[in-house]
Structure 1
């Protein structure tokens, strides 16, 4: 189940990061970028790579938030420990068989 959710997060974020990369660098030359008034010392490929991973991480966070907010109350409140091994103060419901 968690592997499927991870793919729901990572794959769309990967696709959007690729599209953002193309859109941004169609209009911006990496050699013209400055960081705190100083030109970047990275090569063009380095800027492309770094920007892709930044875009990917940002869109993964957005996808993860969407996935978290789409979880049902049952999924959030169930106790992952079997009923016989649960502490006495754990009153969460068990998952349906």
Structure 2
């Protein structure tokens, strides 16, 4: 299930990052970019690559948040300790769901 959830996050984020890359660099020349008033000392290809990974990271965070918010209360509140190994005073002992 974790692999499937990971793909729910990574794959759409990858596609959106690719589209963002095309849109941004259709309007912005990487050679004209400056950082704190100084030109970036990177090649165009390096700027394209870094920008893609920044876009991918931001869109992955968005997809991860969406996936987290889509979880059911049972998934969020599920106890990771097997029932047989829970302490006697565990509030989840005896609960069935």
Q: Same fold (TM over 0.5)?
A: yes
1:35 equivalent in structure 2: 35
2:13 equivalent in structure 1: 13
Give the aligned CA root-mean-square deviation in angstroms: 1.6
Tell me if structure 2 keeps the 8 A contact 1:77–1:92.
no
Q: Report the number of matched residues.
A: 96
Instruction: Determine if the alignment matches structure 1 residue 50 to structure 2 residue 58.
Output: no
**Runs of 4+, deviation exceeding 2 Å:** 87-96
For structure 1, the 5+ residue unaligned runs are none
- Distance (whole Å) between structure 1 residues aligned to residue 9 and residue 89 of structure 2: 34
2:2 equivalent in structure 1: 2
TM-score, normalisation: structure 1: 0.92
Q: Tell which has more relative contact order, 1 or 2 (C-alpha 8 A, sep 6+).
A: 2
